[in-house]
Amino acid sequence: MPIVSERWNDDMQKVLNRYLSPGFEVNLINVKYGGMESLTGLAMVVALPYIIQEILKAAQEGYDAVIPNCFADPGVVQSRPVVNIPVVGPGESALHIACMLGYRVGIISPGSTPTQQLHGKGSSQTYQSVQSHGLSTRVVSNRGLALAVEDLGDAELTSDALHKASLKAIEEDGAEVLVLGCTGMTGYAEELQTKLDIPVVEPTVAALKMAEVLITTNLKHSRLAFPSREVKYPLKYPPTLKL
């Protein structure tokens, strides 16, 4: 969990346990420093080294895979060269699964700024994630809610906002498959899918199932793509960060 607050942990654990396959166990661990309840802008920069720290600790403690639970996949690319277990990004997993279910993908994400919330625009961070995965030609819509991440704790408000934004993505943008563009929306996909009658992919669940697949098929990231290299020049770590 790449945020400091444990506010979402109980609900997240319930959802993960519901989808967890027999023989697997999932544990939630929060970073020590960074954003309290969201991971945007400066909070991402502050939290990133501590996210990587927890990934390294998980590998050392014998975990079989790690999921930095944020749609932006923080620390995934940076940590793959230094661990030998799968590091699975929720955004990457959800987007690629969505591309298997339809040609035109729409993303529904919280508005990270007041202007985005007012005009129903998806966050800039979401655009960057799509571009980094090379899926700009497949994602036809990035709709934002009139809500910030911190407001997602209101279930009724969030459900209503998701439904309205999803209808616009389908009717105005031509989306055939939807992806929830924030792990703070975990738990809403099934209800939304029933209402809309199209696939709705939840990033946390997508990452969980992808991690299970990689573990059971003995697959992990390629060393040609993510070569393991020693740091040539010494690093000076902050006093609170020990890797």
Q: CATH code at 190?
A: 3.40.50.12500
The residue-averaged pLDDT of 223-232 equals 82
In a domain, 55, yes or no: no
7 — phi, psi (to 5°)?
-55, -40
Let me know how many helices (H) and strands (E) the chain has, helices first.
9, 4
Give the integer Cα–Cα distance in Å for 79 and 101: 29
Of 31-45, 47-61, 200-214, the one with minimum mean pLDDT is: 31-45
Q: What is the pLDDT of residues 141-171, one digit of tens each?
A: 999 887 777 777 778 888 998 999 999 999 9
143 within domain boundaries: yes
Report yes or no on 54 lying in a domain. no
- Go through the chain and tell me how many residues it has: 243
Residue 123's domain comprises 92-201
Q: How many domains is the chain partitioned into structurally?
A: 1
Between CA 97 and CA 203 the distance in angstroms is 10
Q: What is the pLDDT of residues 89-124, one digit of tens each?
A: 999 999 999 999 999 999 998 865 555 555 556 667
Question: What distance in Å separates the CA atoms of residue 176 and residue 169, rounded to the nearest whole number?
Answer: 9
Residue 16 placed within a domain: no
Measured distance CA(91)–CA(193) in Å, rounded: 18
Q: Is residue 144 included in any domain, yes or no?
A: yes
C-alpha–C-alpha distance, residues 49 and 1, integer Å = 13
Query: 0.85 cut: is pTM over it?
Result: yes
CA distance 116 to 178: 19
Note whether residue 113 is domain-resident.
Answer: yes
Token pair of 140, please? 């036809």
Q: Is residue 175 domain-resident? A: yes
Whether 145 is covered by a domain: the verdict is yes
